[in-house]
Structure 1
Amino acid sequence: MKTVSILLGCIALAGCVQNLDDPSPESGAIAFREDCASCHGLDAMGSGSFGGALIITPPDLTRLSERHGGMYPAGYVMNVIDGYARGDHFSAAMPEFGAGDMGPTINVEQDGVGTPIPARLLALSLYLESIQR
């Protein structure tokens, strides 16, 4: 999983994901409600009931693009969710979702190079991309 995560930082998902029948923003919204909303809030703005009790306040996930120069950082987001790319500024309360089952892999292709990405991870990223302000 860690090797795949490294490659994700180089992949731009816009326009390169094939067959989104399963990993969609809608399925990502369900995964978000199940796995993330208690800390990040149903609105993804860091307002979750459990998040308020944490030492490090969960970030507003609707402003990821804004904080990254206007481009949605898909590789970064998936690395953080997976657990690979985390700095000291991350709360230890953030689970390392890559250590669990994130579903079957979907092949994401760019420039003829395919990278398998777990469907739930891809769906979460697509959902977060869809709610950027």
Structure 2
Amino acid sequence: MIRTVVAFGAVGAMLVACAPERQVSGRALYMDYCASCHGLEGRGDGPAAAGLGKAPADLTGLAARNGGVFPRVHVMSVIDGYTRRDDRGSVMPELGAALQEGPLVRVDTGNGISTPTPVNLVALANYLERLQE
């Protein structure tokens, strides 16, 4: 097995994982689960956005709205649905179950505790970080 170590910039998160047999594509996950509402470039202008009661977030400004730092742990929590369980007004689906296929990787969420996290969730968050302006 190959061991991979990836540092997550200013958040200081650390990912240590055994490489999965097939490469996980954050872009492909985004196209499958997010682009219909958030649009191809993440601006909240996808074809399904017009039919929603609330406009989807512009995902290209997540870091800008967080003092220039990509809020990785918060983003993963929103995607998973964990932070929105009590938000009955949200139209965004909880993707936690959909992203659980594949191995778990350990992510330091900034509190010194390494948390097992689905590799697909991490890959999607990595892709969203690349969309930042």
Both structures adopt the same fold (TM-score exceeding 0.5): yes
Q: Which has the higher helix share?
A: 1
Structure 1 consecutive aligned stretches of length 4 or more whose deviation exceeds 3 Å: 12-15, 19-22, 87-92, 109-113
| Structural RMSD (CA) | 2.7
Q: 1:99 to 1:118 in 2, by over 3 A?
A: same
Which runs of no fewer than 5 residues in structure 2 stay unpaired? 1-9
For 2:54 and 2:81, how far apart are their aligned partners in 1? Answer: 17
Query: How far did residue 19 of structure 1 move?
Result: 4.5
Amino acid at match of 2:34: C
The 3-state SS of whatever aligns with 2:114 is strand
For 2:124 and 2:96, how far apart are their aligned partners in 1? Answer: 13
Q: 1:90 to 1:120 in 2, by over 3 A?
A: farther
Residue of structure 1 in register with 2:5 after alignment: none
Residue of structure 1 in register with 2:70 after alignment: 72
Between structure 1 and structure 2, the one with the greater Rg is 2
Q: Which has the higher strand share?
A: 2
Query: What is the number of equivalent residue pairs in this alignment?
Result: 119
Which runs of no fewer than 5 residues in structure 1 stay unpaired? 1-11
Per the normalisation by structure 1, the TM-score is 0.76
Q: How high is the sequence identity, in percent, across the aligned residues?
A: 41
Per the normalisation by structure 2, the TM-score is 0.76
Q: 1:86 to 1:114 in 2, by over 3 A?
A: same
Contact 2:37 2:47 in 1 (8 A): yes
Amino acid at match of 1:108: V
How does 1:1-133 map onto structure 2 within 5 Å?
14=12, 16-19=14-17, 21=19, 27-86=25-84, 92-103=90-101, 104-109=103-108, 113-133=113-133
